[in-house]
Amino acid sequence: MATISSPGIGSGLDVQSIVSQLVAIEKAPLKQLETQATSFKTRLSLYGTIKSQVSALGDAAAKLSTSAGWNAVTSTSSNPSAVSVTAAAGAAATALTLEVQQLAKAQSTASTAVTTDSAMGAGTMTISLGTWSGGAFTAGTGTPVNITINPGEDTLTAIAAKINEAGAGVSATVLRDASGERLLMRSSTTGEANGFRIEVAESGGAGLSRLAYDPGVATGMGLTQAAQNALATINGVAVVSATNKMTDTLPGLTVQLSQVTTAPVEIDVSVDPEGARKNIQAFVDAYNTLTKTLADATKYDPASKTAGALQGDATAVGLQNALRSMMRSVTASSPFERLLDVGIEAKSGGELSIKAEKFDAVLGSNYEGLKQLFTVANENPTAQGFGLKIRTFAQGLIDSDGLVTTRSEAIQNAITRNGKEQDKVNDRAARAEVRLLAQYNAMDANVGKLSGLNAFVTQQIALWNKSTA
């Protein structure tokens, strides 16, 4: 008798359905494991958010933990169109009087007009940078640059392009008007030491000497602006600058000279309390963001009967309590010891709020005391300024062995174990399916054999009854 290849043919039973239901029973533990995995992943994601927010809080606290977060300054000029001032953080508060007698300028020259697009002869132009004193030129330390001019083909436009490509410390352009065209040249940098001389050696064609510049060459270019330094006085002291942007003259200040002055310009540099206000607001915002995340994750909503993903999580609850306690702690600073003393209050939900009237009064009348509240150092970590203690606390949480980091790692390990358990259940179910199909197929085949034998016996009995009738 042929072997039964389709389950159920021999017995008439729905073997496939029976086996599927039995395999489903084997897989029943998966539902709980999958629910656990979803919960673990939600917790891990939350701890990733918490870690990021703790880091942001630590960064905000770090800005307030040292003098750098409190030394923002503001600068003003009584005549900004003539003299503008920019103060870098940490610049000393000061008041200055500045007068500008002369602006720094770059040397400029112009050639005589020639016919547009005409060739200028041939030879070599040698450009040197240095200082002019009357008609005498003193070359600087740079190497002179030689530019080759080809006979019969190099126009002023081509020559200007070669000069600009040579990097000789000068720039060139062509000016066209009713007279024809002229070559204009200018030092790339202002200041007396950045003047230039142009020597010409002609070869194979005359005319190139018109582009020379040296007071001794009568046929060469004319001077339209001599190179000069900026001259100014600061509090009556004479200063000289090769540029109109003085960055090193006054430490921490950048002074831009734009006009010669006819009256003294008053410069004022003072501490900018708005910088500290912004840093403190950023600190409060970072703290409140973290506090809200922890509150939402650990709360229970009786109306909807739903719990936050971290409700009952000892690490999250402990962090929440530690933060609240720290914000109510005291420091070794004076005259302010608590955040509450300067108008930074904890609300009922744990978040911080800044009471504007009180805070503004402290900011305006006791800036140094407010600074000490965040920066004071002390051997007792709990008595340090709030910038220092929160920075240290936050860093400790997210370090490789920190509480938040280790909790995240523990959840990740739980996810890994859960995945292995799911693999085991699926593996057991797969083996059970193979085993059950084999057993039911064997039973099906035997039932098929018995059914065939029963049919044969019945046929033989019928034939026997017929023959004896």
Give the DSSP letter of residue 465: H
The answer to whether the beta carbons of residues 231 and 222 sit under 8 Å apart is: no
3-state DSSP call for residue 176? strand
pLDDT value for 217: 75
d(CA 441, CA 447): 10
Q: Which amino acid makes up residue 47?
A: Y
- The tens digit of pLDDT for each residue in 179-203 reads 999 999 999 999 999 999 999 998 8
Q: How many whole angstroms separate alpha carbon 170 and alpha carbon 228?
A: 15
**Consecutive sets of 10 residues in the chain, 469 residues long: mean pLDDT of each?**
46 70 81 85 90 95 91 93 92 93 98 92 95 93 94 92 96 96 97 96 84 86 96 97 95 96 96 91 96 91 84 90 93 95 90 95 93 94 93 92 88 90 85 77 65 61 68
Query: What string of DSSP letters covers 72-139?
Result: -EEEEES-TTTEEEEE-TTPPPEEEEEEEEE--B--EEEPPPB-TT-----EEEEEEEEEEETTEEEE
State residue 10's pLDDT score: 44
